Structure 1
Amino acid sequence: MGTDVSVEAEIRVRRGGFVLDTTLEVADGEVVALLGPNGAGKSTLLRCLAGLLPIDAGRVALAGRVVDAPRQGVRVPAAGRDVGVVFQDYLLFPHLSVLENVAFGPRARGVPKAEARQRARRLLERVGLAERAADRPRELSGGQAQRVALARALAGDPSMLLLDEPLAALDVDTRKDVRRELRGHLQSFDGPVVVVTHDPVEALTLADRLVVLEQGRTRQSGTPAEVARRPRSPWVARLVGLNLLSGEAADTTVAVGAAQLTVPEPAHGPVDVLFPPQAIALHRERPHGSPRNTWRAVVEGMDVEGARVRIHLDGPFPVVAEVTHAAVAELGLAEGVGVWAAVKAVELTVHPR
């Protein structure tokens, strides 16, 4: 990762009843993934950086150049920002060949036709599609179209790359291969890269740093390891496969609403309690035996993930348990079924909030 900050953004923008109010810095050579639930403001932030949406207040500087500053009357349009953008649906021109699609950006900036085509051919070779130069976009697979879109974004020699859900249009099998290829291309790009994604695997494999947006604000920022080790909200905890409960600690007891949990180490004041779904045991009758936390819950929903089933539980607090298919059958689990949930105190990790 580079050390020079190339993107400095303080953005406030209102769209209807939604307000995006956040900051973002990205260094040269750094790949930042914007994550968050639907409606968090990820694509809005990307559009502000690209110049497709004007900000209401704040400042956006790219490579030291201020491109948006309402108070100073600065507003550089998208075409003047030296930014390459890859959209979710790629938006390739259907009437142009693959070569002409990639050459379009340089041509629009006044690069002579021969030079633009030569640049396009080099980029198509780089993404492994030199032999498809004469084809139309409709003749390409989803993975090939994605690579053409990336080549087109790079053809203008941009100082920054923005990618909006770049793999969302691909099927599961194709996504895995293209994700690996895309990571290589992004690592070789010298400027800052911002990727919008809802896919945690995509974020963890592509990005050097994660920025989590919730309700228009930055909720958390850090390396994938930092975010996984210390999630700051229930949404982030679910993203990294953990349950998170916030409460008030007094010695080894944490009050979570009207419920109480016993934790392994003394703590005091506001805390977050973290534990994995696998730590929750489910029973049809109240369990007895070794010291543990138990509570009544109702199955709210179930998701099958390979050999395991994630059980969404409603009760004194919402959590997710993870059990085997055999356990689902043995316990007769289904939506609306009442269960006892149990988790040992030693499985809980407590962090001051």
Structure 2
Amino acid sequence: MLKIKISQHIPMPIQVSLECMDGQIHALVGPSGSGKTTVLRMIAGLSNPEIGKIECAESVWFNADEYRKNFLSVPVAKRSCGFLFQQYALFPHLNALQNVLIALQNSGIDFERKRLLALQWLEQMGIDNLADRRPHQLSGGQQQRVALARALARQPEVLLLDEPFSAIDVPTRQSLYRTLADIRQDLSIPILLVTHDLREAELLADNITVIDQGIALQTATPSALFQKPRNTRVAQLVGISNTFQGKFNAGKLSWEGTNYILDVIDKGKIPAGMDVAWVVPQSGLSVHRQANHATLPVTIKQVSTLGQIASVELAIRDSGLSINWDASSAELKRLGLEAGEHVYLEIDPQQIHIMPLRPINDPRRLQNI
């Protein structure tokens, strides 16, 4: 198990707290420059936070309070980390086997045993037949497999992956996803994955931490994160397009900019009469040809078809607002919907998620990380 709670102010603010169980993949997502890679470097010991604690497999790797008492920072070489970099970081003058052998250099075992272990890792990556090739003779995906074999050859207690699939084509990426899934089952160690690809995080991770300007804004399962973001900034960062404002009053949500009042579930967490932001996932939207008691009149403003998916912009009548509805091309064809038509939108009240309305720079957004 990996547990971290770290904080610093310079050279950039960092305030992150998370746990990753053995066998789990925990993704760190956020904009470029948000501090995701910095967190990995701190875990590996390549840099230190000002205060906090980093603990892995019941061993403390870093510990410092605000007074710098009981300071501890285990050297990089003594932290059992496998670190996979975005650009592979293979030695160009060494072949694949020799690159993996580097990780076993100080293992204390004889050369022939090290060679057999390195070959076994290349075999597990499916590239043992490429052991004699140098990096320039390998494809991007093959280089990444060599780098992954090297990271795992030390039998680390945690695996750190820094944008490992970003420079690889889609078919190769899918293959590496399967390899990562197999490794996860076999090794049962915490795996931290830095990625800018939300779909990748949703596909691979058990939990996701959203980081913005060095601050962990929310940690949740993928489904909870996309359906119930903590605040409007999280909703923006995870790409939730349908974010609106309103006023909440005991189960009634007045939709700002419209004359509509939506019935929502009152969980007793938001005071009556409070200004709020709210989101609704795509699963909470449906479009009908005929009106019923639960529908709102809308006009199809624009239809954008992307392969088998159609993105439909619906203008809320008698307002300046629009809401986006993603449907399959088949559903669009079945309903016979075209731009300019008047149809009816149904919003599932059970899927509306209400959030306190706070500015992005409000310091209260840093609470409960």
2:116 aligned counterpart, secondary structure = helix
Is 1:30 aligned to 2:15, yes or no? no
Q: How far did residue 226 of structure 1 move? A: 3.1
Deviations 1:150-173 (A, max 9, x none): 110011111111011111111122
- Partners of 1:229 and 1:48 in 2: how far apart? 31
Q: How far did residue 136 of structure 1 move? A: 0.5
Maintained 8 Å contact 1:35/1:197:
yes
Is 1:171 aligned to 2:169, yes or no? yes
Maintained 8 Å contact 1:253/1:261:
no
Give the corresponding residue for 2:362.
none
1:273 corresponds, among 255, 269, 278, to 278
Deviations 1:62-101 (A, max 9, x none): 2222222242332223222110001111111111010000
2:352 corresponds, among 319, 340, 350, to 350
Give the corresponding residue for 1:285.
none
Alignment map for 1:315-326 (pairs within 5 Å):
320-322=324-326
Maintained 8 Å contact 1:30/1:191:
yes
Q: Compared with structure 1, are the counterparts of its residues 341 and 97 closer, same or farther at alpha carbon in structure 2 (3 Å cutoff)?
A: farther
Give the corresponding residue for 2:5.
10
Give the corresponding residue for 1:59.
53
State which drifts further: 104-113 or 196-205. 104-113
- Partners of 2:51 and 2:324 in 1: how far apart? 40
Identity %: 32
Is 1:39 aligned to 2:33, yes or no? yes
Aligned AA (1:31): I
CA-based RMSD: 3.8
Deviations 1:130-157 (A, max 9, x none): 1111000111122211211111001111
Is 1:100 aligned to 2:101, yes or no? no
Maintained 8 Å contact 1:280/1:322:
no
Give the corresponding residue for 2:262.
263
Maintained 8 Å contact 2:232/2:277:
no
Unaligned runs of at least 5 residues, structure 1: 1-5, 282-287, 333-338
Which consecutive segments of 4 or more residues in structure 1 shift more than 6 A?
Answer: 288-291, 294-299, 311-318, 323-327, 339-342
- Partners of 1:289 and 1:28 in 2: how far apart? 50
1:123 aligned counterpart, secondary structure = helix
Maintained 8 Å contact 2:264/2:349:
no
- Partners of 2:32 and 2:245 in 1: how far apart? 23
Aligned AA (1:308): I
Q: How far did residue 260 of structure 1 move? A: 5.8
- Partners of 2:312 and 2:214 in 1: how far apart? 29
Q: Compared with structure 1, are the counterparts of its residues 161 and 217 closer, same or farther at alpha carbon in structure 2 (3 Å cutoff)?
A: same
2:97 aligned counterpart, secondary structure = helix
2:40 aligned counterpart, secondary structure = helix
State which drifts further: 234-243 or 30-39. 234-243
2:147 aligned counterpart, secondary structure = helix
State which drifts further: 42-51 or 311-320. 311-320
Unaligned runs of at least 5 residues, structure 2: 356-369
State which drifts further: 77-86 or 147-156. 77-86
